Amino acid sequence: MIAKKIKILLTQLALFFILGSTSGKTPYNPTHADPFLEPWRWKSYAGLEGASTTCMLQAHDKTIWFGTENGLIHYDGINWVNFGTENNIYGEQITSICQDQKGSIYAGSYSGISKFNGIEWQKFFPFDSVYWPVYHLTTNNKGDIWAGTAFGALRISDEVFYFICHPATSRSN
């Protein structure tokens, strides 16, 4: 009788180890939530509600500039300030923003380039009211401003303008 109980016990132990070892052959693959979609990472800012943001820039002073379809929005961490055509900006739809080494902010639009000197905006390029779409603004390590426009590349170096275009697309004024 004891031999029969030992035989049953050994059979049960053998089955336990055989069945237990087969389920352990599947590798463990943990699933992780996409950290980009975690709700705590997202926040709605009242200053940007309804504004179709087209570009943005973190300035040297750590403030944020947003280009929108209705002008520019400046956020200093506390206050939101809107700038539009009434503030002497070329056009409403801002396509690109950059900052030079001196701290001036440049905003490109479908009408031209505007410059913010820290106090006020001024129409910077073109000098007359011609249609001059600006698609992209950037700076290089020499401090020059480069603009990609509908008519070619524009380099601004110490407020001297250099226009680079293909001869077939040059404008005659």
**How many domains would you assign to the chain?**
1
pLDDT at 90: 86
pLDDT tens string 34-80: 877 878 777 777 778 878 899 999 999 999 999 999 999 999 988 99
Amino acid at position 56, single letter:
M
Q: Per the domain annotation, does 73 fall within a domain?
A: yes
Q: Measure CA 130 to chain center.
A: 29
Indicate whether 27 belongs to any domain: no
Establish if 69 belongs to a structural domain: yes
Reported as a single tens digit per residue, the pLDDT across 132-170 is 899 999 999 999 999 999 889 999 998 898 999 877 765
* Domain around 73: 50-169
Q: Mean pLDDT, the chain, as a whole number?
A: 85
Question: Is the pLDDT assigned to residue 28 strictly greater than 80?
Answer: no
Report helix, strand or coil for 72.
Answer: strand
Instruction: Please indicate whether residue 22 or residue 141 has the higher confidence score (pLDDT).
Output: 141
User: Which stretches within 31-146 are classed as H helix?
Assistant: none
Higher-scoring residue by pLDDT: 16, 107: 107
Give the range with max mean pLDDT: 1-5, 60-64, 124-128: 60-64
Q: What's this model's pTM, rounded to 2 decimal places?
A: 0.71
d(CA 20, CA 25): 9
When pLDDT is cut at 50, 70 and 90, the band that residue 171 belongs to is: low
Could you tell me if residue 44 is inside a domain? no
Which residue carries 């913010």 as its tokens? 116
Does the pLDDT at position 5 exceed 60?
A: yes
8, part of any domain? no
Residue pair 108/147 in contact (Cβ under 8 Å)? The answer is: yes
CATH number, domain of 122, equals 2.130.10.10
Average pLDDT over residues 69-92: 91
Cβ partners under 8 Å of residue 165, min gap 6: 151, 152, 153, 171
